[in-house]
Chains A and B, each alone.
Chain A
Amino acid sequence: MSNLTSRDGAKARKLLDHLYNPKSRGIFFQLVMLAAILWLGYEVVLNVAHNLEAQGIASGFGFLDRTAGFDISQTLIPYSNTMSYGRVFWVGLANTLLVAGLGIVLATIIGFIVGAARLSRNWLIAKLATLYIEVLRNLPPLLMLFVVYFGVLKNLPSPKASLELPFSIYLNARGLYMPMAHREPGFGVVIAAALIGIAAFVALWQWARHRHRLTGHPTPLLLPGLVLVFGLPLVAFVLAGMPLSFDLPVQGRFNLTGGIVVQPELAALLTGLSLYTAAFIAENVRSGIQGVPAGQREAAAALGLKPRQILWLVVLPQAMRIIVPPLTNQYLNLTKNSSLAIAIGYPDLVSVFAGTVLNQTNQAVEVILITMSVYLVLSLLTSLAMNIVNVRMSLVER
C-alpha cells in the first residue's frame, strides 16, 4: 500500500518537476509561440487568397512585364512610357539611391560643420549652431520639404523670367538649368590619365606611410597629390585638344531647352532632408568630440603637438569611434525619409512604384513586398558596411 502511494508520489513529483523545470517550460512556451505564428500565417494567407479572389486580382509577379504607360519626370536610366512596370521599379530605385547618396554627402558636410561650430570657442558661432540644431531637430521633416518646395522653389520666377546666373546657369520654378558636358572622341585619354594619377597617388601614399613607419620622417603629400590627381588629367585634357563640348541651356519661347536640369522636386528633397539630418549629425559629432577624455588632449599638448595636429591625430580618430554608430543610424534615417518624396511628387521608389504602379495594377501584396524588401536590403547593407568600418576602427584599441 505504502509502496504504491510512494510510487504515485514519485510519479506526481516527476510531473511537477517537469512543470517547474525551466527547460520543459521553455519548450512549452516556444511550442505555443510556434503554433500562434503558424496559425496567424495560415489565417493571413487564407484571407489574402480569399480577398484577392473576391476582388478578381490575379496574384503573381507577371504584372512586372506589362506596359507601364505613364511618364516619369526624372529618369537616370533610359525610360519611356512603353516600357514595363519592372523598368519603373529600376527607375524609382535609381532615383531613391540618387537622393540618398547625395543627401548623405550633403548632410555629413553640413552636420560636421555645424557640430564643430557648436563646439567653437567663438561664443556667437556656438550659439548660432545651437539655434540651428534646436530649431531643425524639433520640426517634422515633411514640413521642411513643404517649406523648401512650395514656399521657396515654387515661388521662383516662371521660365520666361528665369534668373540668370554665371556660366550659363538659369534658375526658375521649373528647376535649375546647367550646361551639360559631352565627351568628344579622344576623351578616353583624359580618363586614363586620371586613373593613372589616382593609382600613382595611392602608391605614393603607401610608400610615404611605409617610410614614416620606418624612419619617422613625414612626407608632404598635399602638393604631389594635387598634381597627380588633378594636374595629370588636366595636362592630358589640354594635350588631347580639349575633347569636351558643352550643351548650353537656351531660352526658348516657353521654356529653356538643352543643358541638364535639376528638378525642383529633387532640389527640395535634397535640401530638406540634408538640413534636417544635419542637425542630428551635428549633435552626434559634438557628443563624439566631447566624449574624448580631456586627458588625451592634454597629453597631446604636453607632447608638443600643435592644435591642428591634436585635432586631426588625437581627438578626431577617437571621436570617430563614438560618432560612427549613431551616424549609421542617421544615414539609414535619411534613406528611409527619402520616401517622403511622395508628398512633393519626386519620382522615388515609393512614389512611382508603391504609389502609381500599385494604383494602376492593384497588385498590393507584390508591390509592397518588393518595396519593403528593397529598404530592408538597403538598411542591412548599410549596417553591414558600417559594422566593418566600426570593427576596423576599434581594432586600433588595445
Chain B
Amino acid sequence: MRAEPGPQPMISRTRPGEKRGVHAVAIWLHRNLFSSWSSTALTLMGCVLVYWLVTGIFDWAIWRAIFYGADGSACRVEGAGACWPFVTAKFQLFMYGRYPTEELWRVNVTYALALAGLVPLMLPGVPGKLWLAIYMLVIFPIAAFLLLTGSSWLGLPVVSTELWGGLLVTLVVSCVSIAVSFPLAILLALARRSDLPLIRWSAIVFIEFVRGVPLVMVLFFASVMLPLFLPADITFDKLLRALIGIALFSAAYLAEVVRGGLQAIPRGQFEAADALGLSYTQKMGLVILPQALKFVIPGIVNSFIALFKDTSLVLVIGLFDLLGIVQQSVAADANWFSPQTAATGYVFAGFVFWIFCFGMSRYSVWLEGRLGTGPRR
C-alpha cells in the first residue's frame, strides 16, 4: 500500500484568459460543488456531515469537556464531554508505563540520542550518512540498551522490563523489531531469488508461513511455544519474546518489499556485474542492493507504519503498550470511572498513534518525490 501524494488536480485551475475575482470563485463553486443537481445534493449532504462533525467534536472536546479535577468525580456530571484530567493525571503512565520517576531522564536521554541520529539520517542532503548509520546501528542500540535496562557497572539501577509500558514500549518494540528484521529481510529476499532450490524453498516456506498467519498467533507462538523449543534452563522475559515474534513477522513482510525492489532492477545490471567478474557478495552489496533498497524506501516506511500500528497487539500476551495501558486504565481504575473516560482515553491514544503514522506516511510521500521513485504519470 503506497500513499499517493496530494489531492486530485483541480479542474478549475484558472487559465490566463479567465476572469478573476468574484467571478472566478463563482466558476470554481459551480464546477466543483454545484455542477449538476446530483452534485448539489451531494454537496448539501456533505455540508450537513461537516457541520455535524465539527460541532460534535467541538462540543465534546471543548465546550462540554471537563478540564480540571482530581479524580473521576469531576467527570461524572450529567452531560459532560471529554474528561481531560484523566489524561493529564495519567500522562506519565501513558508515556513511560511504571518506569520509576527518578529514572525517567534515562528514557528521555535515549529519545534525544535517537533523534540526534535519526533526523540528519532521514534528511537527504545531510553529509556523513555512513557515520550516522554506524552510529544508529552500532553505538545507539548499545547506549539505549544500557540506559533503558540499566547496569550496575555504570551505576544505573536496573529497571525490569515489567515496569516498562506506554509509548515507551510501543517505540522500543517497533524500533527494535524493524532494526532486527531489516537485515533478516534482505537475507530472506536474496534467498528467495536464489538459484539454489533448497535455499529458495526455505525462504519461500518461511515467508509464506509467517505471512499466512495473524500476528496474534505469532505472538502466542513466541510466548508459548518458544520457551518449549529451548532448553529448560534458558528463560527470557516477555518483552524479548514479543520482540522475537514481531521481528520475525515483520521480516517476512519486509522481505517481500525488498524482493519487489530486487525485481525492479533490470537484468542488465546483474549481467554487467557478472561480466565485470564481481563475486556474489560484491554484485549484491555494491550494485544491486543499493539500487533496490533506494527504490523501496517508501515501501519500507509503509511496513514500518504497519508495524507501529501492530505493536498494540502485544496486549494479548500481557504487555502494555500505549493502547494497552490506556485500555487498562480505562477498564481497571475505579477512581476515574465515568461515562466519558473510555472515549477520552481512546481519543488521546488515537491522536498519538495518528500523529506518528501520519507523519511517517507524509515523510514517505515526500521522499518518494525527492528520490523520483514514485509511480510515473
Chain A interfacial positions (CB closer than 8 Å to B): 26, 29-30, 33-34, 37, 44, 47-48, 50-52, 54, 118-128, 130, 134-135, 137-143, 146-147, 150-151, 154-155, 280, 283-284, 286-287, 326, 336-340, 342-343, 350, 354, 358, 364-365, 368, 371-372, 375-376, 379-380
Asked if A151 meets B342 with Cβ closer than 8 Å, knowing A121-B39, A122-B33, A134-B358, the reply is yes
User: Which of A44, A283, A284, A375 touches B214 (beta carbons < 8 Å)?
Assistant: A375
Chain B residues whose CB sits within 8 angstroms of the CB of A364 once the complex forms: 224-225, 228
User: Which of B50, B198, B309, B354 touches A124 (beta carbons < 8 Å)?
Assistant: B50
Check B353–A139 contact: CB distance below 8 A.
yes
Query: How far, in angstroms, from A365 to B225 measured CA to CA in the complex?
Result: 7
Chain B residues whose CB sits within 8 angstroms of the CB of A33 once the complex forms: 198-199, 202
Which chain A residue lies CB-closest to B354? Answer: A138
Interface: B349 (CB within 8 A): yes
Check B339–A155 contact: CB distance below 8 A.
yes
Check B357–A342 contact: CB distance below 8 A.
no
Check A150–B331 contact: CB distance below 8 A.
yes
> Which residues in window 48-103 of B have CB below 8 A to A?
49-50
Q: How far is the CB of B5 from chain A (nearest CB, A)?
A: 12
Asked if A283 meets B4 with Cβ closer than 8 Å, knowing A30-B196, A138-B358, A375-B212, the reply is yes
Check A380–B212 contact: CB distance below 8 A.
yes
Check A343–B315 contact: CB distance below 8 A.
yes
Sampled A-B contacts (19; CB under 8 Å): A37-B202, A50-B231, A51-B227, A121-B11, A121-B32, A122-B33, A122-B35, A122-B46, A124-B32, A124-B42, A124-B46, A139-B353, A139-B357, A143-B349, A150-B327, A150-B342, A151-B342, A368-B220, A372-B221
- Number of residues on chain B facing chain A (CB within 8 A): 65
Chain B residues whose CB sits within 8 angstroms of the CB of A336 once the complex forms: 213-215
Which chain B residue lies CB-closest to A29? Answer: B196
Check A143–B217 contact: CB distance below 8 A.
no
Chain B residues whose CB sits within 8 angstroms of the CB of A372 once the complex forms: 213, 217, 221
Interface: B305 (CB within 8 A): yes
Give per-residue flags for B272-315: 1 if the beta carbon is below 8 A from chain A beta carbons, else 0: 00000000000000000000000000000000010001101101
Interface: B230 (CB within 8 A): yes
Interface: B263 (CB within 8 A): no
User: Which of B42, B199, B211 touches A120 (beta carbons < 8 Å)?
Assistant: B42
Check A140–B309 contact: CB distance below 8 A.
yes
Chain A residues whose CB sits within 8 angstroms of the CB of B2 once the complex forms: 287
Chain B residues whose CB sits within 8 angstroms of the CB of A141 once the complex forms: 309
Q: How far is the CB of B119 from chain A (nearest CB, A)?
A: 21
Q: How far is the CB of B188 from chain A (nearest CB, A)?
A: 13
7 nearest A-B pairs in the assembled complex, by CB-CB distance = A138-B357, A336-B214, A123-B32, A124-B46, A339-B214, A140-B309, A30-B198
Query: How far, in angstroms, from A123 to B316 measured CA to CA in the complex?
Result: 42
Q: How far is the CB of B285 from chain A (nearest CB, A)?
A: 17
Q: How far is the CB of B279 from chain A (nearest CB, A)?
A: 10
Asked if A52 meets B1 with Cβ closer than 8 Å, knowing A135-B354, A140-B353, A336-B214, the reply is no
Asked if A119 meets B46 with Cβ closer than 8 Å, knowing A139-B353, A358-B224, A364-B228, the reply is no
Chain A residues whose CB sits within 8 angstroms of the CB of B156 once the complex forms: none
Check B11–A375 contact: CB distance below 8 A.
no
